[in-house]
Structure 1
Amino acid sequence: MYSKPEFAPLSHDEVFGLIEAAAFAAVVTAGPQGLVVSHLPFVLDRARGENGTLVSHLARANPHSTLISEGRETVAIFHGPHGYISPSWYPRNPVRDSAPTWNFAVVHCHGHPVPLDEHATARHLLQLVEVLEKDRDDRWRMRELGPGGMERRIPGIMGFDLPIGRLEAKFKMGQDERLYDTGGAIRALEQSDPALAAMMKAHNAYRQD
Structure 2
Amino acid sequence: MYTKPEYAPLSQDEVFSLIEKTVFATVVTHGPDGLVASHLPFVLKRQESGGPALVSHLARANPQSALIAAGHDTIAIFQGPHGYISSSWYPAQPVRDSAPTWNFAVVHCHGKPKVLDDHATARHLLELVELLEDGRDDRWRMRELGPGGMERRMPHILGFSLPASRMEAKFKMGQDERLYDTNAAIAALSGNDPALSDAMTRHNSSRQPQAESGVIAPE
* TM-score, normalised by the number of residues in structure 2: 0.95
Structure 1 segments (4+ residues) deviating >4 Å: none
Residue 177 of structure 2 is matched in structure 1 by 177
CA RMSD of aligned residues (A): 0.6
Gapped runs of 5+ residues in structure 1?
none
Residue of structure 1 in register with 2:216 after alignment:
none
SS at match of 2:57: strand
Which residue number corresponds to residue 20 of structure 1? 20
Distance (whole Å) between structure 2 residues aligned to residue 51 and residue 120 of structure 1: 19
Residues in 1 aligned to 2:96 and 2:51: alpha-carbon distance in whole angstroms: 42
Aligned position for 2:156: 156
Task: Quote the Cα distance in structure 2 between the aligned partners of 1:45 and 1:33.
Answer: 31
Residues 32-71 of structure 1 mapped to structure 2, 5 A cutoff: 32-71=32-71
Larger radius of gyration between Structure 1 and Structure 2? 2
In 2, Cα distance between equivalents of 1:50 and 1:194: 36
Structure 1 stretch 46-55 or stretch 65-74: which is displaced more?
46-55
Partner of 2:136: 136
Over the matched positions of the two proteins, sequence identity in percent amounts to 72
- C-alpha distance in 1, partners of 2:176/2:144? 51
1:192 Cα deviation (Å)? 1.1
Structure 1 residues 32 and 136, CA, compared in 2 at 3 Å: closer, same or farther?
same
User: Structure 1 residues 97, 51: CA separation in 2 closer, same or farther (over 3 Å shift)?
Assistant: farther
Separation in 2, partners of 1:199, 1:205: 10
* Shift in Å, 1:51: 3.9
Aligned pair count reads 209
Give how far 1:50 is off: 4.7
Q: Deviations over 1:82-141 (max 9, x none)?
A: 000000000000000000100000000000000011111100000000111111111100
Please tell me the residue identity of whatever aligns with 2:54.
L
Secondary structure in 1 matching 2:191? helix
Task: Give, in whole Å, the separation in 2 of the partners of 1:33 and 1:111.
Answer: 19
Do 1:45 and 1:52's aligned partners in 2 also have CA atoms closer than 8 Å? yes
Where in structure 2 are there 5+ consecutive unaligned residues?
Answer: 210-219
Give 2:98's aligned residue.
98
- Letter aligned with residue 18 of structure 1: L
- Give the letter for the 2:8 counterpart: A
Question: Counterparts of 1:25 and 1:19 in 2: how far apart (Å)?
Answer: 9
